[in-house]
Amino acid sequence: MKDVKYDLAIIGAGILGISHALHALNKGLKVALFERHQKAQSSTVRNFGQVVPSGMNTKWQLYGRKSLEIYKNIQFKLDIGVKQNGSIYIASNEEEIQLIEELQAINKVNDYNSVLLTKEACIEKYPNLNHDYCKAGLFFPDELSVDPTIMIHRVLEYLKLNQNFSFFPNTLIKEIDSTSDSCLIIDSLNNSYKASISIVCSGAEFEQLYFKEFYESDIELVKLQMLRLKPQSEIKIPGNILTGLTIKRYESFYDCPSFRTIKDKEEKNSFWKQWGVHILFKQESDGSIILGDSHEYADVNQKDGIDFYLRDSISEYFLQEAKKIMHLEHWNIDNQWLGVYSQCKENDIYYKIIDNKVHIITGIGGKGMTASPGYAFENINKIFAS
Ligand SMILES: Cc1cc2nc3c(=O)[nH]c(=O)nc-3n(C[C@H](O)[C@H](O)[C@H](O)COP(=O)(O)OP(=O)(O)OC[C@H]3O[C@@H](n4cnc5c(N)ncnc54)[C@H](O)[C@@H]3O)c2cc1C
């Protein structure tokens, strides 16, 4: 056993684990972070990198807004690739215009900055928009974009500057014994580590730790399909681009007075509804464009219900619909991938405390890149209140 005793051991170096590590270090705590891979390679690096509090319900928007502050604060100290180019929701018909207008009214009450743009203003700001598709837009100037393949690794480098931080890559934690007065954390090579408190942020991996708890929970796994278009040399599409189907999908819109009536009119057997597709664009610094996504679901105890296939029909649908929204130089696919995250059916996050020492926190769903830093800030303050 290593002699050191940590104040906090964190299992999982995805955005949720890293965010908890960041705030614990800011409190002066001694932190160990364990990651089964050399570096994170799950949903935290497979997403769009859209930091969009505008898409969250009122509770999670506040965490997202805190995250904006936290990301910008780190960026100020070390370049983690954060860009503030805002987010835009493009409405393509009267119903979507109605919803963005209602969302703006809600945001006014919540004191969250958003600007309604006419069709002309949208096209002036994003010249590649298809004039037939775009009818109006709602712009959130404060929102951020990050490159998901880079950001988390740079934040890890930032944490490593702190002498109270220890990172254990390629370390699979297979057991946490919390029955005595501290946590004994045991890896797959039988090395053990001691900590006062443990936080388990294992994402969508449930076999190694707390299998029974997860198996009996209402967690579900969600498989998303994504693609990246090869770099476009001339085209610049700054920030996060969200479109009509997103307006009918993201939680922030649930509070709009017209939401239910508009949803009820949807064609139940449409392809996009069957595969949970909505169309989002995000351009990276090299000019490539991430395009997605789709959603397939399986209960945690029947997780073979989602397979590992990339479906051509979904990629073709992305391209077909995206072409109706944007004019691009080309539509050549660079690569395609799937990502899996976990979420709860009843609650907005999975949180269970074992022996008053182990905090299992996962199932943050599709809001992790946006909300994790802000959520973890509050959570670390609660856990280490005294
Ligand atoms: C395709 C896609 C697009 C998305 N787009 C966005 C977006 O634009 N904006 C947004 O806000 N959110 C987005 N999300 C959601 C977001 O990516 C997730 O909410 C977030 O990444 C979850 O982070 P996490 O830390 O909980 O899990 P993960 O990223 O899965 O990290 C968990 C880590 O724990 C490690 N681990 C697990 N068990 C052990 C163990 N026993 N020992 C050691 N290590 C272990 C794993 O190796 C992994 O690295 C998207 C998700 C997907 C899949």
98 in any annotated domain:
no
Task: Specify the residue with its C-alpha closest to ligand 1, atom 16.
Answer: 368
Peptide bond into 7 cis (omega under 30): no
pLDDT computed for residue 188 by the predictor: 97
Domain count, the chain: 1
Backbone φ, ψ for residue 335 (5° rounding): -155, 170
Distance 53 CA to ligand 1 centre (A): 18
* Secondary structure of residue 374 in the 3-state scheme: helix
Backbone φ, ψ for residue 26 (5° rounding): -60, -25
pLDDT computed for residue 189 by the predictor: 97
Cα–Cα distance, 52 to 65 (Å, whole number)? 9
Per-residue pLDDT in tens (0 to 9) along the chain, 386 residues:
557 999 999 999 999 999 999 999 999 999 999 999 998 999 999 999 999 999 999 999 999 999 999 999 999 999 999 999 999 999 999 999 999 999 999 999 999 999 999 999 999 999 999 999 999 999 999 999 999 999 999 999 999 999 999 999 999 999 999 999 999 999 999 999 999 999 999 999 999 999 999 999 999 999 999 999 999 999 999 999 999 999 999 999 999 999 999 999 988 899 999 999 999 999 999 999 999 999 999 999 998 889 999 999 999 999 999 999 999 999 999 999 999 999 999 999 999 999 999 999 999 999 999 999 999 999 999 999 96
286 in any annotated domain:
no
Which ligand 1 atom is at minimum distance from the Cα of 49? 8
Residue 16 C-beta-side C-alpha neighbours within 13 Å: 26
52 in any annotated domain:
yes
pLDDT computed for residue 305 by the predictor: 86
Which ligand 1 atom is at minimum distance from the Cα of 34? 43
For 310, which DSSP code? P
54 in any annotated domain:
yes
CB–CB of 205/54 below 8 Å?
no
CB–CB of 344/219 below 8 Å?
yes
pLDDT computed for residue 187 by the predictor: 98
pLDDT computed for residue 268 by the predictor: 86
pLDDT computed for residue 84 by the predictor: 97
CB–CB of 333/230 below 8 Å?
yes
Which ligand 1 atom is at minimum distance from the Cα of 362? 26
CB–CB of 258/321 below 8 Å?
no
**Helix runs in the chain, H state only:** 15-26, 58-77, 94-109, 119-125, 151-160, 211-215, 244-247, 259-264, 271-274, 312-325, 368-383
Indicate the angle between helix axes 368-383 and 15-26, nearest 10 degrees: 40
Which domain range does residue 214 map to? 1-80+143-218+347-386
For residue range 35-44, list pLDDT tens digits in order.
Answer: 999 989 999 9
Task: Specify the residue with its C-alpha closest to ligand 1, atom 27.
Answer: 203
Distance 19 CA to ligand 1 centre (A): 12
> Residue 281's closest CA among 331, 233, 234?
331
Pocket test for ligand 1, best of 34, 44, 170 (most atoms within 8 A of CB): 44
Query: Considering all CA atoms of the chain, what is the largest pairwise distance in Å, rounded to the nearest integer?
Result: 66
Cα–Cα distance, 342 to 323 (Å, whole number)? 31
> Residue 103's closest CA among 119, 82, 89?
89
191 in any annotated domain:
yes
108 in any annotated domain:
no
Residue with token string 């780190």: 74
Which ligand 1 atom is at minimum distance from the Cα of 337? 1
> Residue 194's closest CA among 178, 174, 171, 209?
178
313 in any annotated domain:
no
Q: Report CA-CA distances (Å) from 366 to 42, 319, 384.
A: 13, 22, 27
Domain with 190 in it: what CATH number?
A: 3.50.50.60
b/e for 24-53, b at 16 or more Cβ within 10 A?
A: bbeeebbbbbbbbeeebebbbbbbbbbbbb
13 in any annotated domain:
yes
Distance 50 CA to ligand 1 centre (A): 14
Element counts in the chain: helices (H) and strands (E): 11, 19
Phi-psi region of 239 (alpha: psi -120 to 50; beta: other; left: phi over 0): left
pLDDT computed for residue 146 by the predictor: 96
C-beta 360 within 6 A of ligand 1: no
